[in-house]
């Protein structure tokens, strides 16, 4: 593996794109706001990272570990890496994927069904959606059963990610040990990422959570996949869940012996307690239950939410009562991320809450449907006071209480919250949650947080920034800690200054007092001005060219004038959502179009061109954007194709559930934007913007 190729700006930029489009939502919940700000000036950040790596002056940071409860009662680790560490890890995984691409194709969707690489090789989507490959896995199990393989065993591994040997891993990717210097550096980085402190560093283990690690884990297992392929038995794998099929019981046992030997040769630990050979009675029996993969922790925004009746029906099939317990985790999660607010569903969920801590994320996702509900706060408090031992769950519950509690519930919760605050350093999620609750109590005059923010975990402090009291954004407040802290803290602090419209002057800070990475964030968000004249750059034009392949004729300073910065910020936000959050992208792009068209109307007037109409009514209020585009309007008569494209975009924006739940005319439920719809809208955006650019450019 060549060093220059690994750290190239092209590879680092691809790594960033793949992180942004990754579907590991449970992991990304900790970084969403930071990702948005980083995206706003990503080119500068990537150039800086490349420069540091090239000088071999970059150092990795230890992971911050959180532990999620599992159905067994044990916990699954999640390793939170700094943003730059995520990018470098993904850059390594990119190169692993390139080197192993052809080898992986020999087993993908034949014996291995997890973490299938996307096509083409340089796709910004690193891997295919797990739902599609898991369906293929189930179909293969059925096919094998129908071929007469009616004996089976489920083979599982203990702590698979934690036992991956760095030395063996790199020997798989680079068997000839070419570029040993590069491999030695990667080994050092992996040692750091394998632990949350220097004393715990080992020569094995990869951070669990980033999508990069999911493929690295696949690469490590590849020699075993080849060893067990094309035998008399049938071997199928989904991550570390392995199914062995045979025509006889002994055939399966022989397969298990070979698999166990191969695993132990590589330092992997089979879970003997889960191993059992049994005779299959049906195709459903062959498919078994869902493998132990990360939950589908987020609603697919392209899907239409279900009705209350549908939610009750599916939920009933996923649980048993007396006492209530979940028997089908997939169906339960499916309902939680799609069900509307409903009293009957909520009643059942509140009963399930203390019995299934492993489903805390999906339960909280369902609570998000409700604006106010004291019963939710009381149930969360009861669970906290009962002594639930999982720090991750306690932190999540404190967020729930902070959101739904009235003063009565706050009074009841304070003693427990203070006790948790004393041990919050054990878990960043607990710290984030309990501090959220205490800050909410302080905002209503119940209790102060004292100096706790000073000793807060940097990740937690950055996540808490949106609820900082106003005093923290005055001279001497904790906003200064954010702006001078870790990169994640800097991004959070910059975002809050933009949102609260606070200048560095108010904080008694000068640009030279801040790290360059923080200044980049502040400039990208418009908190400090970019030096446009000195660089001669049109950031709006550059962004439009990158996003939509618009003409490279940069007239946007001239057209937008005083609205340039405002339009740029909206475009930056749209760009950050372009690859994954399609509906949010459309809403922001439509807002950008609104600004552009209003300024274009002014341009048409000054140049005495057709299509102008007043943008303000007689009462001084702005005419609605949609009305400016109406059929038969001056703009529509002068430029019918452009007006039609803009109307199409604006109507689709209004038909998003986030804008209106139902279509105004037909009354049907509005649906979220799909990727293929986005791709159909892009040519319309390009046509509109190119027309405006050409018109402005030909009328100086």
Strand partners, 204: 165
Of the pLDDT bands very low, low, confident and very high (cuts 50, 70, 90), residue 700 is confident
Say if residue 290's pLDDT is above 60. no
> Residue 241 is inside which H or E element, if any?
strand 241-246
Q: What is the pLDDT of residue 664?
A: 66
Tell me the CB-side half-sphere exposure of residue 84, using CA atoms within 13 A.
Answer: 22
Tokens (6 digits) for 508 = 């008694």
> How far is Cα 543 from Cα 527, in angstroms, rounded to an integer?
19
Tokens of 209: 């959570």
Mean pLDDT throughout 467-483?
Answer: 91
Task: Specify the residue for token string 């996949």.
Answer: 225
Q: pLDDT tens digits, residue range 10-39? A: 999 999 999 988 889 889 999 988 998 898
Closest CA relative to residue 683, chosen from 591, 580, 548: 548
What stretch of H or E contains 575? helix 564-577
pLDDT at 297 over 60: no
Handedness of CA 265, 268, 272, 274 (dihedral sign): negative
Which position has the higher pLDDT, 648 or 576? 648
pLDDT, one tens digit per residue, over 447-461 is 888 889 999 999 999
Average pLDDT over residues 185-193: 96
pTM of the predicted structure, to 2 decimals: 0.83
Segment 161-184 mean pLDDT = 90
Q: Give the bridge partners for 326, in sequence order.
A: 319
SS3 298: coil
Cα–Cα distance, 36 to 588 (Å, whole number): 13
Q: Residue 579 — pLDDT band, cuts 50, 70, 90? A: confident
pLDDT at 375: 95
What is the rounded distance in angstroms from the CA atom of residue 63 to the CA atom of residue 418? 27
Q: Is the dihedral of CA 207, 208, 209, 212 positive or negative?
A: positive
| pLDDT, tens digit, 9 for 90 and up, residues 1-17 | 799 999 999 999 999 99
Q: Residue 673 in contact with residue 300, Cβ under 8 Å?
A: no
How much is the average pLDDT of 479-505? 92
Binning pLDDT at 50, 70 and 90, where does residue 284 land?
A: confident
**DSSP letter at 127?**
B
Return the pLDDT at 146: 93
Q: For 115-130, how does the pLDDT look when each residue is reduced to its tens digit (9 = 90+)?
A: 999 888 888 889 988 8
CB 432 within 8 A of CB 452: no
101 pLDDT higher than 70: yes
- The CA distance from 170 to 184, in Å, is 9
Q: Which of 98-107, 164-173, 279-288, 653-662 has the lowest average pLDDT?
A: 653-662
Tell me which of 296 and 238 has the higher pLDDT: 238
pLDDT at 625: 94
Tokens matching residue 583: 């509906």
Task: Give CA separation, 367 vs 216, 345, 408, 452, 468, in Å.
Answer: 35, 11, 20, 28, 23
Of residues 441, 500, 430, the one with CA closest to residue 465: 500
The answer, yes or no, to whether residue 49 has pLDDT greater than 60, is yes
How far apart are alpha carbons 312 and 668 in whole angstroms? 21
**Do 513 and 485 meet the contact criterion of CB atoms below 8 Å apart?**
no
CA within 13 Å, CB half, 92: 31
Q: Are 141 and 161 in contact (CB under 8 A)?
A: no
pLDDT of residue 294: 44
> Mean pLDDT across the chain, nearest whole number?
90
pLDDT at 399 over 50: yes
Measured at the CA of 55, the angle between CA 52 and CA 61, to 5 degrees, comes to 45
Angle at alpha carbon of residue 157, lines to 155 and 163, rounded to 5°:
155
Q: What is the pLDDT of residues 608-667, one digit of tens each?
A: 999 999 999 888 889 999 999 999 999 999 999 999 999 999 999 998 887 766 666 666
């Amino acid at each position: 593996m060549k060093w220059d190729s690994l750290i190239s700006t092209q590879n680092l930029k691809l790594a960033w794109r793949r992180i942004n489009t990754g579907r590991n939502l449970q992991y990304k919940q900790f970084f969403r706001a930071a990702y948005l700000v980083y995206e706003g000036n990503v080119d500068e950040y990537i150039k800086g990272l490349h420069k540091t790596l090239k000088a071999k002056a970059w150092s990795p940071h230890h992971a911050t570990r959180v532990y999620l409860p599992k159905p067994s009662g044990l916990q699954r680790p999640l390793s939170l890496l700094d943003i730059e560490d995520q990018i470098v890890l993904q850059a390594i995984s990119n190169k692993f994927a390139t080197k192993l691409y052809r080898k992986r194709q020999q087993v993908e969707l034949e014996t291995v069904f997890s973490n299938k690489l996307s096509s083409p090789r340089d796709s910004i989507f690193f891997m295919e959606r797990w739902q599609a490959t898991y369906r293929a896995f189930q179909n293969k199990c059925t096919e094998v059963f129908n071929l007469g393989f009616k004996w089976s065993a489920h083979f599982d591994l203990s702590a698979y990610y934690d036992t991956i040997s760095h030395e063996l891993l790199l020997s798989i990717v680079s068997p000839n040990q070419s570029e040993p210097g590069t491999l030695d550096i990667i080994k050092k980085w992996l040692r750091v990422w394998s632990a949350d402190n220097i004393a715990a560093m080992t020569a094995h283990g990869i951070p669990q959570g980033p999508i990069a690690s999911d493929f690295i884990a696949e690469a490590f297992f590849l020699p075993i996949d080849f060893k067990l392929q094309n035998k008399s038995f049938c071997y199928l794998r989904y991550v570390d869940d392995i199914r062995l099929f045979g025509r006889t019981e002994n055939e399966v046992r022989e397969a298990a012996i070979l698999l166990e030997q191969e695993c132990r040769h590589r330092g992997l630990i089979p879970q003997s307690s889960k191993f059992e050979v049994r005779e299959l009675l049906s195709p459903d029996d062959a498919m078994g239950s869902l493998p132990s993969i990360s939950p589908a922790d987020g609603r697919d925004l392209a899907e239409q939410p279900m009705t209350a009746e549908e939610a009750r029906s599916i939920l009933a099939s996923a649980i048993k009562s007396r006492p209530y317990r979940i028997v089908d985790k997939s169906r339960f999660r499916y309902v939680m991320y799609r069900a509307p607010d409903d009293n009957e569903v909520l009643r059942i969920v509140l009963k399930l809450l203390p019995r299934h801590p492993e489903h805390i994320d999906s339960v909280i996702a369902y609570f998000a449907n409700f604006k106010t509900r004291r019963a939710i706060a009381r149930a969360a408090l009861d669970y906290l006071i009962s002594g639930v031992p999982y720090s991750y769950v306690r932190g999540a519950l404190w967020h729930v209480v902070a959101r739904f509690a009235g003063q009565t519930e706050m009074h009841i919760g304070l003693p427990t919250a203070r006790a948790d605050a004393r041990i919050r350093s054990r878990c960043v999620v607990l710290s984030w949650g309990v501090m959220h609750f205490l800050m909410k109590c302080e905002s209503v005059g119940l209790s102060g947080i004292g100096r706790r923010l000073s000793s807060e975990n940097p990740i937690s402090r950055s996540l808490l920034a949106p609820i900082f009291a106003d005093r923290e954004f005055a001279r001497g407040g904790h906003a200064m800690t954010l702006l001078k802290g870790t990169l994640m803290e800097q991004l959070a602090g910059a975002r809050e200054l933009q949102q609260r419209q606070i200048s560095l002057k108010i904080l008694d800070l000068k640009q030279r007092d801040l790290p360059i990475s923080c200044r980049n964030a502040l400039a990208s968000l418009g908190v400090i001005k970019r030096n446009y004249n000195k660089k001669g750059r049109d950031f709006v034009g550059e962004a439009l060219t990158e996003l939509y392949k618009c003409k490279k004729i940069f007239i946007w300073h001239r057209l937008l004038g005083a609205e340039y910065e405002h339009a740029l910020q909206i475009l930056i936000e749209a760009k950050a959502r372009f690859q994954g959050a399609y509906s949010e992208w459309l809403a922001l792009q439509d807002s950008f179009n609104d600004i552009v068209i209003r300024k274009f109307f002014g341009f048409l007037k000054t140049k005495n061109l057709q299509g102008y109409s007043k943008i303000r009514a007689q009462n001084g209020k702005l005419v609605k954007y949609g009305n400016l585009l109406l059929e038969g309007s001056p703009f529509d008569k002068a430029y019918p194709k452009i007006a039609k494209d803009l109307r199409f975009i604006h109507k689709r924006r209004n038909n998003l559930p986030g804008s209106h739940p139902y279509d105004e005319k037909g009354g049907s439920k509005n649906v979220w934007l799909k990727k293929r719809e986005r791709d159909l809208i892009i040519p319309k955006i390009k046509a509109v913007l190119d027309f405006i650019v050409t018109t402005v450019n030909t009328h100086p």
